[in-house]
């Protein structure tokens, strides 16, 4: 997404941020596509480890994490506007379960933070070398761009 495309969305990216998006964020998202279920299982396990009071339903935790992670990956890859985001039915049910158990909103927010940290930590991925993969994707793009410009 270029800076001009981002401006109406309220997302002003500097040229350095834009380069980072194209060189790091988008390649990591492309690399992560297809890993949604594995990531969701890891997120659910980590939530249980850090917040054992949460959730009677591991399946619902996995489903909510999987749909959320898949949506984020797809949005980054396709460049979909963040303002169009809607919670999945699984995420809504998960939030309702947390509330029905009597937990404050802080607990729900903690589950989101745990999911974010888990997703960003390369050691938690089944495919371990994300920086190398991002470099390979970028190299493939660069060589493809050179081939088409000839």
Confidence tier at 63 by pLDDT (50, 70, 90):
very high
How far is 19 from 23, CA to CA, in rounded Å? 6
Is the Cβ–Cβ distance between 24 and 131 less than 8 Å?
no
Confidence tier at 143 by pLDDT (50, 70, 90):
low
How far is 115 from 91, CA to CA, in rounded Å? 13
- Exposed/middle/buried for 65, CB within 10 Å: 0-12, 13-18, 19+? buried
How far is 134 from 130, CA to CA, in rounded Å? 6
Averaged pLDDT of the chain? 75
How far is 39 from 70, CA to CA, in rounded Å? 10
Question: Could you tell me the residue ranges of all domains in the chain?
Answer: 16-136
Q: What is the structure's pLDDT at 77?
A: 82
Residue (of 25, 52, 5) closest to 119 by Cα position: 25
Q: Read off the pLDDT of residues 21-48 as tens digits, 9 standing for 90 and up.
A: 778 777 888 888 888 899 899 989 998 8
Q: Read off the pLDDT of residues 87-101 as tens digits, 9 standing for 90 and up.
A: 889 989 999 988 898
Is the Cβ–Cβ distance between 66 and 40 less than 8 Å?
yes
How far is 102 from 1, CA to CA, in rounded Å? 41
Distances (CA, A) of 38 to 68, 97, 142: 13, 23, 30
Name the 3-class secondary structure at 129: coil
């Amino acid at each position: 997404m270029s800076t001009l495309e981002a401006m109406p969305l309220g997302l002003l990216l500097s040229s350095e941020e834009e380069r980072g998006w194209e060189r790091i964020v988008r390649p990591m998202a492309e690399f992560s596509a297809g890993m949604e279920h594995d990531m969701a299982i890891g997120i659910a396990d980590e939530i249980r480890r850090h917040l054992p009071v949460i959730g009677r339903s591991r399946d619902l935790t996995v489903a909510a994490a999987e749909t959320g992670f898949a949506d984020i990956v797809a949005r980054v890859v396709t460049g979909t506007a963040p303002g169009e985001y809607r919670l999945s039915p699984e995420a809504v049910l998960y939030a309702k379960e947390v509330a029905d158990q009597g937990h404050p909103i802080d607990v729900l927010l903690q589950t989101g933070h745990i999911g974010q940290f888990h997703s960003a930590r390369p050691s938690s991925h089944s495919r371990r070398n994300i920086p190398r993969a991002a470099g390979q994707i970028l190299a493939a793009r660069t060589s493809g761009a050179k081939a088409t410009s000839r």
